[in-house]
Amino acid sequence: MYKIYGIPNCGTVKKALTHLDKKKLTYEFINFKKSPPTKELLTSWKEVFGEWPVNKNGPTFRKIKDDYMVATTAAKHKLLIENSSAIKRPILEKNGKVIQFGYDEEFYGKLR
């Protein structure tokens, strides 16, 4: 089963969810606004992504950028948990493993 993390009003997340629905794939949607990510999740995503999974072009990140750039690991956890809209989304997992950051139509087209 798939898990998809994001926020429901994000256009990119909406595209991903629509794609999963059209393919009739079973998934669990985790809404960052209702269930912010844990520091353990953030750390695991960082390991997979190779860097913190932040959307550096988004308005939320721009608001916290100065604090984020000088933050310790613990402070980055806190900033991203409190400002989950700054996290790159959607994050798609299958069987507990991250398989995609962001939405890519071709990638989603190959899901089964």
SS3 108: helix
Percent of the chain with pLDDT over 90: 99
What's the CATH code, domain 2-109?
3.40.30.10
Cα→Cα distances 47→7, 8, 51, 97, 110, Å: 22, 25, 7, 11, 24
Using alpha carbons, select from 89, 33, 86, 39 the residue that is nearest to residue 63. Answer: 86
Domain spans, the chain: 2-109
pTM of the model: 0.92
pLDDT in tens, 47-81: 999 999 999 999 999 999 999 999 999 999 999 99
